[in-house]
Amino acid sequence: MSRTYSTWCDMHARCGNPNESSYRWYGAKGIAVCARWNDFSLFLEDMGEKPLGMSIDRIDSKKNYDPSNCRWATFKDQANNTSRNRVLVYQGRSMNLGQWAVETGLSRHTIATRIQRGWSIDRALGTPVKA
């Protein structure tokens, strides 16, 4: 079985099989696979072969699996694209807390603690850590 075919099977299972362990995060929440992708050859035509080190990712995690909403993505890309992330808008840019940590050089913990303490996003991300 190819990696691409295995991904296709897993996608259908998590969206359509209540006995699948991850069904609660997909099918039970209304996430479905588009009718076109019930045919593996059409899925392959739309997505191409699965690249090494990547998996299928829904660009908008609230929408279904379909050609306009899916891509092959790295684990890091997927981690940055989960509905559990908190998106912060700072200087006109939207990124999640982990991305802002990389961008600012602040730790995720520092940013999160500042926000929990009531700091504004501008202050939390724009204030360097004192040495």
Give the predicted TM-score (pTM) of the model.
0.66
pLDDT exceeding 70 applies to what percent of the chain? Answer: 94
pLDDT at 71: 94
Q: Which residues pair with residue 56 across a beta bridge?
A: 72
- E strand or H helix at 102: helix 97-104
pLDDT at 75: 79
For the ranges 23-32, 78-87, 97-106, 120-129, the one whose mean pLDDT is highest:
23-32
Sign of torsion over alpha carbons 120, 126, 127, 131: positive
